[in-house]
Amino acid sequence: MRAQFVLREIGIGLRRNLTMTVAVIVTVAISLALLGTGVLIRQQVETMKDFWYDKVEVTVYLCGEVSRRPSCARTAVTQEQRDQLLAELSATPEVDTVFYESQEAAYALFQEKFADSPDLVDNVSASALPESFRVKLKDPTKFEVVAAAFDGRPGVEEVQDQKALLQPFFRILNRVQFFALVVAGLQLLAAALLISNTIRVAAHSRRRETGIMRLVGASNLYIRLPFLLEGVLAGLAGAALASGAMVAVKVFLVDRFLKPTFAFTAFVGWDEVLMLIPALFLTGALLAGLSSFVTLQRHLRV
Amino acid sequence: MPDRSVVWDSVIRLEDVTKSYPTSSRPALDGVDVAIGKGEFAFLVGSSGSGKSTFLRLVLKEEVPTRGHVHVAGNDLSKLSRWKVPALRRSIGCVFQDFRLLSNKNVFQNVAFALEVIGKPAHVVQKVVPEVLELVGLEGKARRMPDELSGGEQQRVAVARAFVNRPMILIADEPTGNLDPNTSVGIMKLLDRINRTGTTVVMATHDAAIVNSMRRRVVELEDGKVIRDQERGVYGFGG
Ligand SMILES: Nc1ncnc2c1ncn2[C@@H]1O[C@H](COP(=O)(O)OP(=O)(O)OP(=O)(O)O)[C@@H](O)[C@H]1O
Ligand SMILES: [Mg+2]
């Protein structure tokens, strides 16, 4: 196989078909960029879970005098119940640490949190706030175990999973991700069809060359390789553009805008972005290679 | 009609070959038995539509027979797997009425193309192409583009391309069909010279004058059947 010959043929082919080649590159770039965005959103969700699940806790609120729950029976939690619950919580295998927050401690936090609104602070007394056990789990997803064991127990007003507060946010991200992946899928399909069509046009416009190649006994590989590489090259060019877009998203959207604006949470790092780039190149090359190959199989036979 | 099926060292042998195209009712070839020996020069004659081109396409395995067997260089083409077809075609050079040159390549590049696409290294191309251009009488015209050549010269380029790989067989489908009689004579001399190097030449033609002047073997087809096979034949009886 003579590399020089193959390269020359690719050059001729790409130039002859320039507008189609550009269309292929742009379509591949858009579809891969959407695909990459979908993957990055997935990783953003994971990053946030890692970040938050370390911090969030399960809170077991205990009954106060004002509690309306049946399990409270209109009386505040007794010292006996409190000790019993603490002992059982500490003995639960899924539980890492337990921390008791008294009504006074809750009130102090409340005062701190709403220091800007003295009216509110003045109208609330410590007895209106529930005391609680702050429970840190070994595995933050094991909330159900604790909830099943302690919810509805005498002296327990409510078992609350702080993780649940993050759910609506994750739901939005998941929906955006789903949408990006669906559009990416459609775009990939469009890219495959466009590549297929481009290769068909290229094969047709060069049928004289390929006809002569067949007659003088060029192998199938030799006849098809320039077309195949043309497709793969366009796919790789699209992947390069998409990778550039991913880097731009990281630099301009995540680092310059989202990070300073939403400083309270973590964002995808360069690791995730840089790992994504080889995957995009591979996808681009495979997409273009496969659709070219299938097309050539059907339209350029010996 | 001489019995050719007993020729042992035939390079092309059609055994009871019938070829029907799906779109036409009458077979293009109908029970054809022809054997062409090594080093032979054979004309295929017959009126338009008699099946000459079909015959040649079967030899190249561009078409497969509906019935019967085609043997080329000892291979039964019906048993030849697809990936071996390129090797078969490397042993057969082809020349056509319409030259089939690449208009964006010059004479040298057109001939070199045939070597490049079968993976011959550059130093071989540089050595062999000038040799064959000299053989066909185109030395000094290597840098011309096809549209800067006469029809006869273009056909010489095509012959050079067909022969550059020194094939065992040269197939020519009406190679003089677009040329005037004088130019045709030049091409025939060239084919004769190639034949004398030991290459088997099979040529389909309508050109009575050429067939008559060469006095070589003539296989005449009519409606897909062989109606005449003469050792040193002429174009036709009164045709
Ligand atoms: N691809 C094809 N599909 C259908 N029919 C075909 C095809 N090629 C040839 N034929 C038919 O087969 C018959 C023989 O055709 P062929 O081309 O072999 O004749 P020929 O002797 O070469 O004619 P000519 O002298 O005009 O070149 C004709 O009737 C033709 O119409
Ligand atoms: Mg014909």
Q: Give me the number of domains chain A comprises.
A: 2
SS3 label, residue B84: helix
A179: domain range? 2-52+167-299
The model's confidence at residue A290, banded by pLDDT at 50, 70 and 90, is very high
Length of chain A: 302
**Cα–Cα separations (whole angstroms), residue A279 to A48, A193, A244, A275, A287:** 23, 21, 13, 7, 12
Instruction: Dump pLDDT digits (tens) for A140-199.
Output: 778 888 888 888 888 888 888 887 877 888 888 888 888 888 988 898 898 899 889 888
pLDDT attached to residue B172: 97
Residues A190 and A234 in one domain: yes
| Domain of residue A80, CATH code | 3.30.70.3040
Domain termination residue (choose one: A132, A164, A196):
A164
CA neighbor of B92 nearest in space, from A224, A214, A301: A214
Strands of the A132-137 sheet, one edge to the other: A95-101, A132-137, A58-62, A156-161
| Termini Cα distance of chain A | 18
Contact yes or no for A291/A197 (Cβ under 8 A): no
Mutate to test the pocket of ligand 1, among B25, B45, B50, B207 (most ligand atoms within 8 A of CB): B50
Q: What is the rounded CA–CA span in Å between residue A238 and residue A143?
A: 45
Distance CA B196, CA B234 (A): 20
ipTM: 0.85
Distance CA A283, CA A187 (A): 13
Q: Do A4 and B122 touch (CB under 8 A)?
A: yes
pLDDT for B148 equals 96
- The secondary structure of residue B44, as a DSSP letter, is E
Among candidate residues A117, A140, A164, the one where a domain is terminated: A164
- Same domain for A86 and A152: yes
Nearest atom of ligand 1 to the alpha carbon of B19: 12
The 3-state DSSP class for residue B145 equals coil
- If asked whether residues A265 and A188 sit together in one domain, one would say yes
Report the pLDDT value the prediction gives residue A166, as an integer from 0 to 100. Answer: 79
pTM over 0.95: no
Residue ending a domain, choose from A164, A192, A221: A164
Question: Whose alpha carbon is nearest atom 5 of ligand 1?
Answer: B21
Which one-letter amino acid corresponds to residue B191?
L
Indicate whether A160 and A173 sit together in one domain.
Answer: no
Share of chain A above pLDDT 90, in %: 18
Answer yes or no: do A136 and A158 share one domain: yes
pLDDT for A193: 92
Q: What is the pLDDT along chain B (239 residues), one digit of tens a residue?
A: 455 444 457 899 999 999 999 998 899 999 999 999 999 999 999 999 999 999 999 999 999 999 999 999 989 999 999 889 999 999 999 999 999 999 989 999 999 999 998 889 999 999 999 999 999 999 999 999 999 999 999 999 999 999 999 999 999 999 999 999 999 999 999 999 999 999 999 999 999 999 999 999 999 999 999 999 998 888 876 44
Q: Give 3-state DSSP helix, strand, coil % of chain B, rounded to 5.
A: 35, 25, 40
Nearest to B100 by CA among B171, B181, B200: B171
Do the chains contact at A216 and B165, CB–CB below 8 Å?
Answer: yes
Q: Which of B74, B33, B75, B38 is nearest to B55 (CA)?
A: B33
> What pLDDT is attached to residue B129?
97
What pLDDT, on a 0 to 100 scale, did the predictor assign at position A261? 82
pLDDT at site B128: 96
Whether residues A45 and A63 fall in one domain: no
Helix spans in A206-215 (H): 207-215
Task: Tell me which residue in A212, A222, A302 faces B119 most closely, judged by beta carbons.
Answer: A222
Q: What's residue A1's pLDDT? A: 55
